[in-house]
Structure 1
């Protein structure tokens, strides 16, 4: 574990002049991570009272104290994709080959379960629902075939394949009543909605929204307390809130183009934290200086919306 002091936030207008227009409305600041190849998985931990996120390819976990600005970092033995609190203590971490128990005090990782054992896929995104079940998907590491799938991991660590196939599974997120789940196939630029039964069975798969034009591809998602679905636009330079019927409510433009995921955080869950990636950008890309940054959006930009509290993994 490494602990360091970090100057919390930086003025977007001071980064590069071509980005000023994107941040003209204010209320957005960068916190850390500029240059990270694949910033992902922001997560507000009620247990730690820290904002966590990862750099997948950099094999790094970050934990930010929003009050002091202190950042703790841990190196992981394999690429790390997502994090969540665990009911029995500590955290879970989705590494490339499985779900691990992560002890932040000791900095240790203990394998809990491998949803699949293919050598051409890795875990990607993952979230815990209000019943403490983990939902996670896999992706083709070569970005060629739909060999991945979407899984549910119950409290007894039983793994159920909930849907397939996927080339790049992303999301998921859940309605406040737990009866609807949204999940993305990033490769097809499509977000699906499912009905969720009490036992976790999925049914009635349907298209929720299809990205086109300059929207980029749908990546990570979260849900607000009013039921709106927020989606990160990878390659689209923004996050958007969609109503439950799939219509666009509004978008927030960001200084980076490759937006990967988002979460509501802070004590009141009224700030939005957004991760981004620097991978594959050419040296002359206008957002090169800020790509990979973790951004914070203030309540003034969120039109009164706040998030739902996270539930720890029950396993």
Structure 2
């Protein structure tokens, strides 16, 4: 039996900023992006084969459509992506008046609505926003972020989680059936006192990047599992944190690389986790110690994820 919570690298592609993995049950593949290299990647979990596509500009996320193909969020806007031809067709500008911004992480909810964030590409100014994109069009839902990550939604569809990366906070919102947000509040925050239960064999406390100038790292991409736990990747944090629905830290999965950006649940039972990582921000000395930085990793878990939703309106 495969050991649980033991990450291994399945594709040593050395991404500069790997991000946003999504599971495609239709083709038994993981799709993700490398933001800085402007690449969309596909990894076939059956054969180990892979493909790389050149995006029109730095791309922050890829999201599947019910009608086939994907929407890719780029610095220059939203694009329709045909994986058969490799063609990108422009759909919509998002922030034409903010040329210093780019799009970052994205998510599709159970109603087929696309949610995504924008951010300052230089990571200095709070010009980032959270958007909802559905049949009603594009709507800004929250703002005042330097770097956004997420969002993700609880299994009952009533809570949306969204990260302020530089503040090291996961925010929670009440999410209404028609896609409106209210009651913004702190769900979890890094660099707080470690919880009492981190002595679990699958947890890592004292050696979990405490020596780093970044502390526990930064909140990167969040994902929710079928039990409502929030799994959050840690940039400069050497792993992934798992929070119970009440915000308690219940698990830490340690990685051999410091920059983990997001996970996705895949496989036939949705218990195989795939994780993107990044080499961005690492020195040559760091890279010598972390030769697999930027690779695609996988590990097994004992709780299933949620099925990948698909965009319904385009």
Aligned to 1:124: 104
For 1:152-301, list aligned pairs within 5 A: 152-156=132-136, 158-212=137-191, 214-285=215-286, 287-298=289-300
Tell me which residue corresponds to 1:305.
303
Cα contact 2:243–2:249 (8 A) shared by 1? yes
The whole-number CA distance in structure 2 between the counterparts of 1:251 and 1:102 is 35
Q: Give the conservation status (yes or no) of the 8 Å contact 1:150–1:163.
A: yes
Looking at structure 2, the residues matched to 197 and 111 of structure 1 have their Cα atoms a distance apart, in angstroms, of 30
Q: Aligned-pair distance for 1:25?
A: 8.3
Question: Contact 1:263 / 1:273 at 8 angstroms: preserved in 2?
Answer: yes
Match of 2:113 among 130, 133, 148: 133
Distance 1:40 1:90 in 2: 18
Q: Structure 1 stretch 101-110 or stretch 286-295: which is displaced more?
A: 286-295
**Aligned 1:40-189 pairs, distance under 5 A:** 40-117=19-96, 118-156=98-136, 158-189=137-168
Hey, what's the Cα distance between the residues in 2 that align with 1:56 and 1:296? 20
Q: Size of the alignment, in residue pairs?
A: 287
Distance 2:134 2:113 in 1: 5
Shift of 1:273: 0.8
Alignment partners' CA distance in 2, 1:191 and 1:25: 26
DSSP 3-state at the match of 2:33: strand
Post-superposition offset of 1:49? 2.6
For 2:240 and 2:115, the matched residues in 1 are separated by 22
What's the TM-score, normalizing by structure 2? 0.88
How far, CA to CA, are the matches of 1:138 and 1:242 in structure 2? 25
How far apart are the structure 2 equivalents of 1:200 and 1:172?
13
Question: What SS does the corresponding residue of 1:188 show, helix, strand or coil?
Answer: coil
Task: Give me the whole-angstrom Cα distance separating, in 1, the residues matched to 2:89 and 2:36.
Answer: 20
TM-score, structure 1 length as denominator? 0.88
Which structure 1 segments of 5+ residues have no match?
Answer: 1-23
1:240 Cα deviation after fit = 1.1
The secondary structure found in structure 2 opposite 1:72 is strand
2:196 corresponds to which residue?
Answer: none
Query: Which sits farther off after the overlay, 80-89 or 99-108?
Result: 80-89
CA deviation after TM superposition for structure 1 residue 26, in Å: 7.2
Contact 2:277–2:294 (CA under 8 A) maintained in structure 1: yes
Q: Determine if contact 1:179/1:197 at 8 Å carries over to the other structure.
A: yes
Partners of 2:5 and 2:253 within 8 A in 1: no
Are the counterparts in 2 of residues 45 and 84 from structure 1 also a CA contact under 8 Å? no
RMSD over aligned CA atoms reads: 1.5
Aligned equivalents of 1:72, 1:222: Cα separation in 2: 25
Q: Counterpart in 2 of 1:13? A: none
Q: What secondary structure does 1:312 align onto?
A: coil
Tell me if structure 1 keeps the 8 A contact 2:256–2:290: no
Deviation at 1:198, TM superposition (A): 1.2
Show structure 2 runs of 5+ residues with no match.
192-209
Aligned counterparts of 2:104 and 2:267: Cα–Cα separation in 1:
25
Query: 1:154-186: per-residue Cα shift (whole Å, max 9, x none)?
Result: 135x01111011111101111001110000010
Deviates more, 1:196-205 or 1:96-105: 96-105
Query: Matched residues in 2 for 1:59 and 1:234: separation?
Result: 20
